[in-house]
Structure 1
Amino acid sequence: MNGTLLPSGTSSSHASRRVRRLLREALALSYARGYAVGLCSDSPLEQLGEFGERVGLGAASTFPVVAENGNIVSFDGAVRLMTPFPASGAVRGIVGDVAAAHGAERLKDTSSPEFGGTPVSHRTWAFGANRRASVSVFAPPPLITEAARTLAGWARDHGVELGLDRSARHGFLGVHPYTPWHSGKRRTLEVLAREGHRLLMVGDSLADWVPAGRGVRCAFVANAAIPEPVRASAWFVSSRPGPDGVVDVLRRAATAPHRPPRLPKAAPPAPKE
């Protein structure tokens, strides 16, 4: 989503009409070739479903979605929890305590600005809405910095694995049940590949990269922030940025002469004695 289909910070409602127009032909080619086209993002499932509807992917729940950084997958109408987060309640409690110490007022759960959420002020904060297996926080930069520091110390002291995706400058903190936090999408895509799905990931950062040999092709838009070895190993890197680059990738995939072989499906667990 951010930086790939949408420039970072852009309202999805403002950009969706252009994205829909750009995607129309590429989607038709992809569907004719037998591909299902979906969305992959750190954003929650509900927001991604609404955006997908607006850009022409179909009704929500009819197209594949990898949400919350890979922690949640929606496919064929079923929602699947990939990475449980048993510490999410404790994380939310700690953030609330830090916010109270800062004298900040909690607002109702919200979405990020690109999904129409209302930005917080210098004295307010909110949890991200619709999170099932992660926690997100929108707050002033000092509160984000302090919350991340406190959570890191708590996790270290209690032996809890936490990945912290923090951007104090943008007033955002994402918390995931693994480290590093940017490995979440890769973990899930590798599982789906082992289950027999043929996958092409289109992204703009290292969080969208799966190393070669693991059953996932990776392509990038021109403005991708990736190191040169990743760029050289990618299946394709478009010369176009943003949604134009996504369309370029989809067209190339739809007209490629061969599809990648399936990986063997994961063997079922051996029965217990």
Structure 2
Amino acid sequence: MAALLASLGGVLLPAASAQAQAQSKPRSSNEVVLKLLIPRPEGANAEIRRLKHTEMARMASERIERRLSHAGVKDFRVEVEPHGILRVTAHSSMDSDTIAGIVIPRGQMELRPLVATGSDWTSIADAIPSDIELRQDIDSLDAQNAYLWSNRREVLESFVNRISLGEAQVFVYPDEGGWRSLTLGPSLANHNDLQQVHRKTTPSGVPFVLLELRDDVAHRMRQSLQISESSHLAVVLDGEIVATLRFSAERISSHLELSCPPHLRNSRAQNTWVTQVAGRLAAPIPIVLAELKE
């Protein structure tokens, strides 16, 4: 599995993080205004629908406030307008895409073990399309560490989405110059196991996200290590891998440090990644929010 992780060059970022990497100079504070639509609940009774709609708007408003606070946005307000519309106003150096990436996604998190499935790919080598390569890590002689690679994300996603591996699920993950397959086992924990989220900084000034999970999550991690022999975990946020972690039987803890992806080298890109990940994890929103463009 160490060889499998050696070739991972990055992670899928929340919205606008790639844009932030290209803009390393901090900008002055500006006003960002987002209008978000709350979906209307179904039901025959109009009064019950109205009350549920109001309750949903209030819940979403409170959780958006928690997200912005955890993301480090100090000057903001969230207002509930008629017809199930939330108006989010933030004064920050962040642009509208970054703020939207904090408040709109649902914040659904999973902690899943990485599993090597190279033999599955080699067994269907004849069925792999010509624009997808079957690769083997240069430092590994284990066929289980084979993986799929393509320079076109949509091509690789279309193919792996048709593959069934039982309880395992194949994700598309950024690799140098393209995209690769990465297979994850069943979930060990989710956002309901998350107790605290913190934005932290190393002594050298590099930001990271610290997760505090329920104590029994460490027990599940230990069981996973014994059963699957997987010593790597992936943090999946809203359907995309945002971090990978390595652990051992001697160093299993319910406190997890999520480091910035290695390809985010400037401070602005790293801070954007941390604010979006920490904000979304701070308060899951169990309903879909749609942005209204004016």
* Larger relative strand fraction: 2
* Larger relative helix fraction: 1
- Band the TM-score falls in, shorter-chain normalisation: under 0.3
Relative to the length of structure 2, the TM-score reads 0.23
Relative to the length of structure 1, the TM-score reads 0.24
